[in-house]
Amino acid sequence: MYPTAVSAPMRNYRGRFAPSPSGPLHFGSLVAAVGSFLDAKINQGKWLVRIEDIDTTRIVKGADSDILHTLERFALHWDEEVVYQTQRLNLYQSYVDSLLSKQLVYGCRCTRKQIKAAGGLYLGHCKHLNHNIEHGAIRLMQCHATNQFTDLIQGQINIDDALAKEDYLIKRSDGLFAYQLVVVIDDIEQQINRVVRGADLINPTARQISLFKQFDNAVPQYAHLPLAVAEPGFKLSKQNHAQSIANQHPQQTLMQALAFLGLPTPPQLLDLTTEQMIGWATEHFSLSRVPKVAEIQI
């Protein structure tokens, strides 16, 4: 019905969708799920699901199974077992220990308020103070500052030099591992070689790339999809009570997600099951069709 984009599939593609279980799936996260799924499948790759529950202060009970059910309803079937970050704390600690043995980390007692008062950027105040690292926050000495990268959708991304050089937290003062650390360890362990996700995570990507280098690991390719926003600058999120898609007509919602990703949406698609719609989309999706913008108002 429409020409299929022709490009050689990436070999041994491994991608993932990594929602945090802080509420039900909303339209913005569905777009990320569909986009990452279709890109994996058009490359004959694997699509994994990881529940990013490392920040236990934000977990909503039952949200994980709710998200997984919703993915199944939209015919987004994952390969391999679902991974939960809270079940891998020993793994994360082993990576921290390896940094520790190389003397690349230090304890930090600065409060967010103090850092903000000093201009917002952490300038290494605790670097030579030898704080005990058994308790409190831990920072990594930045040895692989990355201030630019090429995104498969958004093009060249430049990051502020001072921010790129900042020693950043890998463990928070409340004892939780920092998101930046665990997301990279997970991607390394799951051998993810392409990350397709929402553009709200575009700036932290440079820091994640520096961590891949720190751990001497190949850096995945990145493709950041436009973010669904309610109004410019305000993404749909669980925090601002974006409507759950659980009770919406799945075909219609899926059709909107496909259109958002730049796919043609012939009306007869609505007569298909979600399974058939996803099958159709798998043959027509291409990253090159995705609008090259950071956000789209819906």
Give residues in contact with Zn ion (CB under 5 A).
108, 110, 125-126
Please, which residue, 108 or 254, has the CB nearer to Zn ion? 108
Residue 126 or 230: which CB sits closer to Zn ion?
A: 126
Residues near 176 by beta carbon (within 8 Å), at least 6 away in sequence: 54, 55, 56, 57
Q: Is 1 or 118 the residue whose CB approaches Zn ion more closely?
A: 118
If the CB atoms of residues 124 and 204 are measured against Zn ion, the closer one turns out to be 124
Q: How far is the CB of 126 from Zn ion (least distance, A)?
A: 3
CB of 107 to Zn ion, least distance (A): 8
Give the contacts of 194 (CB within 8 A, at least 6 positions apart).
10, 13, 14, 15, 39, 40, 43, 45, 152, 220, 221, 222, 223
User: Shortest approach of Zn ion to residue 168 CB, angstroms?
Assistant: 11
Nearer to Zn ion, 118 or 143 (CB): 118
| Gyration radius of the chain's alpha carbons | 20
Integer CA distances (angstroms), 28 to 46, 64, 230, in order: 22, 17, 10
Nearest distance from residue 109's CB to Zn ion, in Å? Answer: 6
What is the closest distance, in whole angstroms, from the C-beta atom of residue 108 to Zn ion in the complex? 3
Q: Using the CB atoms, write b or e for 8-37: b if 16+ within 10 Å.
A: eebeebbbbbbbbbbbbbbbbbbbbbbbbb
